[in-house]
């Protein structure tokens, strides 16, 4: 915008050659975008606000009163959803742009406030009694509806997290949860089943064009959940049963790698390689421990493996990143 003016001044002898060249260089330099930095600050603002409200309530609960706290949280929740209902764009199964810069953050504030409100009711008044599955099912359904109705990936992540909590509580016997034995087979199988369900939903979301941009979020949660559950099964079983878990993880890793290459996503390749490296390293340590006779040679062999395998993994990731960088997509 300034170049024509400076050229005119330069023709009249009012601007030197060096000044004109500097102006042209500045004009051609791309502008620095602060879009993601501002979004991060807004998200942190929402989280700090909800966290600050929790600390304020905790320190002043005796003087404020439970009813006043619940009313205040309910007011924030209702106000946030009222704003979003007034501002939202018409519903569509395709991606919808936010109507204004604050819409996404106010919706996230309303959903977090809703979770705090329901959690407060259960903690203080035992509203749901021993029906812990119901206490997680209700907010889960509200969050899924809000995620699709308002088209919000952050709320969808909250909904999937609540789905995992509901599945773990509803399917797993309560006695296991009370003892804190989170390595129990019930929880491992629940994680595997839920991961498969999430991956199937991701595939249907893309094929049926039902909010297709949600597919990445479902796939992300499904992959992490499957790998974590399979690793837990491998770590908690030392016999042949543990090797079956390792083989299952290896088969899924091959599938995940093929899918990641097909979609040209370095992120999913990174996730697959790291989880696979953890499983392979655990297997190597287990085999070395089984054949070890207490000699220093086995310790040296183990250290040599970790050095060489870490270097090999780093080189592999660097090459894959260079290969996929021109076409990389999450």
Asked if 316 contacts 280 with a C-beta cutoff of 8 angstroms, the reply is no
pLDDT tens for residues 244-268? Answer: 999 999 999 999 999 999 989 999 9
**Longest Cα separation, the chain:** 90
Which domain does 164 fall in, by range? 35-171
Same domain, 59 and 146: yes
- Residue 171: phi, psi to the nearest 5? -90, -35
Same domain, 204 and 261: yes
In this prediction, what percent of the chain has a pLDDT beyond 90? Answer: 45
Same domain, 156 and 223: no
Average the pLDDT over 85-90 and give the result: 91
- Residue 65: phi, psi to the nearest 5? 100, 145
Quote the pLDDT of residue 50: 74
Quote the pLDDT of residue 120: 81
Sign of CA dihedral 169, 171, 172, 174: positive
Q: What is the mean pLDDT of the chain?
A: 82
Same domain, 87 and 221: no
Question: DSSP readout, 66-117?
Answer: HHHHHHHHHHHHHHHHHHHHHHPPPP-SS----SSTTHHHHHHHHHHHHHHH
Residue 289 CB partners (closer than 8 Å, separation 6+):
none
Quote the pLDDT of residue 5: 55
pLDDT tens for residues 274-291? Answer: 999 999 999 998 888 887
Pull the structure tokens for residue 280: 């392979």
Same domain, 157 and 222: no
Residue 53 CB partners (closer than 8 Å, separation 6+):
73, 76, 116
Nearest to 225 by CA among 169, 173, 167: 167
**How confident is residue 28, by pLDDT bands cut at 50, 70 and 90?**
very low
Same domain, 166 and 194: no
pLDDT tens for residues 38-65? Answer: 767 777 877 787 777 777 666 766 667 7
Nearest to 154 by CA among 199, 103, 228: 103
Same domain, 73 and 167: yes
């Amino acid at each position: 915008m300034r170049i024509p003016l400076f050229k005119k001044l330069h023709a009249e002898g009012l601007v030197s050659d060096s000044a004109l060249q500097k102006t042209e260089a500045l004009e051609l330099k791309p502008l620095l975008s602060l879009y993601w930095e501002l979004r991060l600050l807004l998200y942190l603002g929402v989280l700090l606000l909800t966290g600050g409200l929790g600390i304020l309530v905790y320190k002043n609960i005796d003087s404020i009163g439970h009813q006043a706290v619940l009313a205040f949280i309910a007011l924030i929740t209702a106000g946030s959803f009222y704003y979003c209902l007034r501002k939202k764009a018409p519903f569509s199964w395709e991606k919808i742009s936010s109507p204004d810069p604050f819409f996404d953050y106010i919706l996230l504030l309303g959903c977090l406030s809703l979770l705090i409100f329901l959690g407060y009711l259960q903690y203080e008044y035992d509203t749901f009694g021993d029906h812990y599955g119901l206490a997680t099912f209700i907010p889960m359904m509200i969050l899924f509806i809000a995620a699709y109705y308002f088209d919000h990936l952050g709320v969808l992540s909250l909904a999937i997290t609540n789905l995992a909590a509901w599945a773990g509580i509803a399917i797993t016997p309560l006695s296991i949860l009370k003892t804190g034995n989170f390595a129990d087979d019930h929880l491992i199988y629940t994680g595997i089943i839920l991961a498969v369900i999430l991956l199937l939903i991701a595939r249907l979301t893309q094929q049926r064009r039902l909010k297709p941009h949600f597919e990445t979020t479902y796939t992300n949660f499904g992959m992490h959940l499957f790998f974590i559950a399979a690793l837990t099964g491998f770590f908690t079983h030392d016999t042949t049963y543990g090797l079956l878990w390792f083989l299952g993880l290896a088969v899924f890793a091959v599938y995940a790698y093929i899918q990641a290459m097909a979609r040209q996503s370095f992120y999913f390749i990174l996730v697959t390689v790291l989880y696979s490296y953890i499983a392979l390293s655990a297997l190597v340590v287990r085999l070395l421990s089984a054949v070890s006779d207490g000699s220093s040679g086995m310790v040296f062999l183990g250290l040599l493996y970790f050095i060489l395998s870490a270097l090999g993994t780093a080189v592999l990731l660097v090459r894959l990143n260079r290969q996929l960088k021109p076409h990389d997509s999450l």
